[in-house]
Amino acid sequence: MMVSKMQLRSVGEMCPGYIQAGSTSWVLAAENIEKDVSCETCIHWEDSRCNIDLFDKVLSSLDQT
C-alpha cells in the first residue's frame, strides 16, 4: 500500500501517539505543531511504518469523517 504525504500529515496531526522527532518532550511538540506535523517527523516512524501500530487505526478513523 502506497501512503501519500497528505495521509501522513493528516494522521500525524490526529495521532494520539505523535511525538516530534528531536523534541525533548511532548509539550515542545505541541508548541511546534505548525512545524510540518507528519508521521515522517514522528519518533515512532521507522522503516516507513508506525512502530506502535497507530497509523492504520488513526487513518481508518479519519476515513469515517
Q: What pLDDT is attached to residue 2?
A: 78
Give 8: exposed, middle or buried? Use CB within 10 Å, 0-12, 13-18, 19+. buried
Question: What does the block give as the cell for 36?
Answer: 510540518
pLDDT reported for residue 20: 87
Q: What is the pLDDT of residue 1?
A: 61
How far apart are the C-alpha atoms of 45 and 12, rounded to whole Å? 10
pLDDT tens-digit profile of 7-63?
Answer: 999 999 999 999 988 755 555 555 555 568 999 999 999 999 999 999 999 999 997
* Per-residue pLDDT at 34: 54
Q: Look up residue 65 and give its three cell numbers.
A: 469523517
Res 32: pLDDT: 53
